Structure 1
Amino acid sequence: MYQAGSKRSALLIVDMQVGLFNGQDRPYEGQRVLDNINQLIRQARNAGVPIFAARHTGPQGSPIAPESPLSQLLSELEVDDVVDTVFDKTKPSCFLGTGLADRLASAGISEIVICGMKTQYCIDTTCRIAAELGFQPVLVADAHTCMDTQVLSAKAIIDHHNMTLNGPFVTLLNTSDVRF
């Protein structure tokens, strides 16, 4: 079993928002993924590991403007916006224009446990950029999701990204194997 936390770790939750999770197209195995993320949150909190939650936002007047109901984190998500760091992003990368890399580096964090949605956009981009920035990303294989597309099923997208990212970009673990 892999032991996350042998280095200073953080949990990064990506785009678990009302507008994405509860939209017209529902995420693949959404409730299971949400339950797994909440398990990771509880484990991180118990271990004193910092928790970061990104929200993808658009310009003022858009359906996902920063203060719009659709851009808010799911109420079922056990993120505490008083204790945890909730930040907005406008690009698929959780790093571009957010100051996240500086916050992580100043806290001495080298390992980032990543979960959330959407697999082929923000999860993929964040994993690749984290590795390029010198962090050690851990992708939680059963705690990220997306929706079916016209070309591929969500399951195929998730399986493909787990296979492609594992090794060159991330360490791939299941929720039950993560220990902070």
Structure 2
Amino acid sequence: MYALLILDIQVGLVHGPEKPWRGEALLKTVNALMDQARSAGAAIFLARHIGPVGSPIEPGSPLTMLAPELTLLGGEVVFEKRRPNAFEMTDLADNLRARGATGVVVAGMKTQYCVDSTCRAARDLGFDAVLVADGHTCSDTAVMKAEDIVAHHNATLDGPFCRLVRAAQWRF
């Protein structure tokens, strides 16, 4: 059984000064994945990245709130994380196992940080990791365009660290 894990679709990343590549498309994809997960009875987990006190994403900051475009119906598990890897210093793995999940479908932000490290960690913890190829994004950096970052990570992670699928191909 698979659970859906959505990483850091929060106000500061979606609506901040560095706009995510294909941001609107990502929100639609994530909402469609949540609808599908609900229909299948799969658990939905949403991570919110929290930074240290004094940072723009300190505890309680409105920038850490989930993006209002997400369709939340109340059955989702929302949790805070403080590291890029959503399993590190959280009870995510225990909560997944308690719900009978043997695999995790990963979507969200940012590709090169939280998406990457969470996919790698999921396999290390014994979960079948599935990355939604068109379900994660980031912003341009000084070195690389976001579109290239996403393509690079899809190619790098697929196989050794996760199974890559397009959202339209996935079924819970």
TM bucket (normalised to shorter chain) is over 0.9
Displacement of 1:63? 1.8
Is 1:63 the counterpart of 2:63? The answer is no
1:1-180 paired onto structure 2 within 5 Å: 8-80=1-73, 82-180=74-172
Stretches of 4+ moved more than 2 A in 1?
59-62
- The Cα offsets for residues 64-105 of structure 1, whole Å up to 9 and x where unpaired, read as 12321100000111133x311000000001001111011112
Q: What is the Cα-based RMSD across aligned positions, in Å? A: 0.9
Contact 2:43 2:99 in 1 (8 A): no
SS of residue in 2 equivalent to 1:125: helix
**What amino acid is the match of 2:23?**
G
Q: Deviations over 1:29-48 (max 9, x none)?
A: 10011100100001101111
Q: Write the distance in 1 (CA, Å) between the matches of 2:8 and 2:79.
A: 10
Deviations 1:120-149 (A, max 9, x none): 000000000001111001000001000001
- Matching residue's letter, 1:29: R
Structure 2 residues not aligned, in runs of 5+: none
Q: Distance in 2 between matches of 1:141 and 1:14?
A: 14
Task: Give the SS at the match of 2:20.
Answer: coil
SS in 1 for 2:131: strand
Q: Deviations over 1:145-170 (max 9, x none)?
A: 00001111001100000000001111
Within 1, Cα distance between the matches of 2:15 and 2:154? 24
Amino acid at match of 1:91: R
CA–CA separation in structure 1 for the residues paired with 2:70 and 2:98: 26
* TM-score, length of structure 2 as denominator length: 0.97
CA distance in structure 2 between the partners assigned to 1:98 and 1:26 by the alignment: 28
1:179 partner SS: coil
Question: Can you give the 5+ residue segments of structure 1 that lack an aligned partner in the other structure?
Answer: 1-7
Query: Helix, strand or coil for the counterpart of 1:88?
Result: strand
Equivalent position amino acid for 1:101 in 2 = A
